[in-house]
Structure 1
Amino acid sequence: MASSSTTISLSLATTALISHQRTTTSVASTLKPHERTLLPPSSLLGTSINLEKTSLRPRPITRSKERNSSHGATCLASSSPPPPPLPSALLFDCDGVLVDTEKDGHRISFNDTFNERELGVTWDVELYGELLKIGGGKERMTAYFNKTGWPEKAPKSDEERKEFIASLHKRKTELFMVLIEKKLLPLRPGVAKLIDQALAEGVKVAVCSTSNEKAVSAIVSFLLGPKRAEKIKIFAGDVVPRKKPDPAIYNLAANTLGVDPSSCVVVEDSAIGLAAAKAAGMTCIVTKSGYTADEDFLNADAVFDCIGDPPEERFDLAFCRSLLEKQYVS
């Protein structure tokens, strides 16, 4: 009886095993290769099998992790961080940034005006460098005459002196514009490139200067060209009552353009321009000019000798973007 019982048990086990293998093969054929390994292994011959409790359906697969088959490394799915924001606006100073105008542009035009009016005044290179610490041409002349004495041909009353200074400045601007129209003063390296990059990305571009509005417009129109000029907003001259280092002109630019000052990047060349930009809460890059190379730029976000064109490029719009990223992280 024992032998007969063993034979029947073995027969039933064999039949169940064959059925199990056929079902497994059928199921496996419908699965992907990496899913087949999840099927229960075949039972050994002679082992009792409870067909009622054995499930031949594949286990559900959790895909929260994917395994690299070649290296066995587990990689968690992750989304890439968003790129840093572009500047909302790129704001340029004019003199010394767009064009190195001071020594061989404005200074010469001031001296030609003084000579025409027979005032007996000449500003040499060193003296003019000191006068540049005063923002604005009219303010510069007024401060100089107050310190050294007014010319004999100058009027005596304060009101008449204001008109006298204004007339000198108007003539100086006319002479300066002749230099610009003749393109005797070229753009600094990299200026056109950086402006083109900004405009192509939809970044607003403006020029913020203490110089006369006509002189700044002439530089933008003649040296950057009319197509660029029509896309560039100009804030210059007496558009604000207080000149740099006061932040008024940068505050005006941000308000007019409708942008957050913290999302603006300013390109300046002087300590007073840097002070104005930082007081307005803006990121500021300094590109040193002939007269400002030795000034203190400790508070600048970056300092270069120029913007630069390839292959001697110093920075581009991507660098401006990276400065804003650091600002937001900090």
Structure 2
Amino acid sequence: MVAIEALIFDFDGLLMDTETTLLDSWRWEWRQHGLTLDESGFFAPHGGDVSDLRYAELARAVGAGYDRAASHARRSAYREEVHAALGLAPGIASWLAEAERRGLRLAVASSSPSTWVRPHLERTGDLARFEVLACGDEVAGHKPDPAVYQLALSRLGLSPEQAVAFEDSPHGVDAAHAAGLRCVAIPNPFTPESSYAHADVLLPSAATTILSEVLSRVVRVH
């Protein structure tokens, strides 16, 4: 059995609950026009930015006079205000501390650009914990494409068997598996748990189980 040497974390929704703040910001912006956001299908079945589609949908609903630039500035300012107080997801800080005590290397593999991931981790004081950042603006394909995980592994200089991925979305689990990684899933609140049957280990939250037990479970299923 090859020893686990590194942990590779998704960012949005896993390390930090930016998925909820994203949805909330769009709900808020629709309300500014006296409208209600249709949340069905809001989260795309892939990583990457779908803002253009969301703004186009809002423009159709508002009609003549919609100002996309003003709408974007207003929504972004609202979300940044919420993010000012946003920290790591429950249990994640304990996992990172335990990983450091165990001498495990840490990486991020995100479909979001580095200009998004890096400032958030800097703000919470956690950026220095991560030896490697691999982000969506550095690869051609977004999850479920495995490219960002392959980039993280390349930068770590490790084989897939030497690392474990942590994800909050089904397409993230797909990406990790396509890169040859075992994957622990913590479902986000917007996707049915039944969509994660392919995860190697499924947890309700990082706060429910210590990291050593999680990794023991990963090893046991293989």
TM-score range, shorter chain: 0.7 to 0.9
Deviation at 1:199, TM superposition (A): 2.0
Paired amino acid for 1:131: F
Deviations 1:135-171 (A, max 9, x none): 345335337848x9697679xxxxxxxxx89x98788
Letter in 2 for 1:178: E
Give the direction of change, closer, same or farther, for the CA distance of 1:294–1:319 in structure 2 (3 Å limit).
Answer: closer
Task: Report the structure number with the largest CA radius of gyration.
Answer: 1
Q: Determine if contact 1:86/1:321 at 8 Å carries over to the other structure.
A: no
Q: 1:144 to 1:261 in 2, by over 3 A?
A: farther
Separation of aligned partners in 2, 1:254 and 1:144 = 35
Alignment of 1:307 onto 2:196: no
Q: Deviations over 1:17-51 (max 9, x none)?
A: xxxxxxxxxxxxxxxxxxxxxxxxxxxxxxxxxxx
Match of 2:37 among 123, 129, 133: 123
Name which structure has the greater RCO, CA cutoff 8 Å, separation 6+: 2
Aligned CA RMSD, in angstroms, stands at 3.4
Unaligned stretches of 5+ in structure 1? 1-83, 155-163
Matched residue, 1:19: none
8 Å Cα contact 1:89/1:206 also seen in 2:
yes
Residue 203 and residue 306 in structure 1: after superposition, are their counterparts in 2 closer, same or farther (change >3 A)? same
Residue from 201, 211, 215 that aligns with 2:102: 201
CA pair 248-152 structure 1, distance change in 2 beyond 3 A: farther
Given candidates 206, 212, 218, the residue that maps to 1:323 is: 218
Q: Are the aligned partners of 2:47 and 2:144 in contact in 1 as well (CA < 8 Å)?
A: no
Where 2:164 maps in the other structure, the secondary structure is: strand
Determine which of 42, 49, 64 is the counterpart of 1:138: 49
**Share of identical aligned residues, percent?**
28
8 Å CA contact retained: 1:173, 1:214: no
- Superposed CA deviations along residues 211-266 of structure 1, whole A, max 9, x for unmatched, are 3433322332233x2xx321313223322221111111111111111111122111
* 1:176 alignment partner AA: R
Q: TM-score, normalised to structure 1's length?
A: 0.56
> TM-score by structure 2 length?
0.79
What is the count of residue pairs matched by the alignment?
Answer: 220
Question: Which SS does the other structure have where 2:199 is aligned?
Answer: coil
2:144 is equivalent to residue 241 of structure 1: no
Residue ranges of structure 2 left out of the alignment (5+ in a row): none
- Deviation per CA, 1:74-112: give whole Å up to 9, x if none: xxxxxxxxxx65422211112221233323x11233455
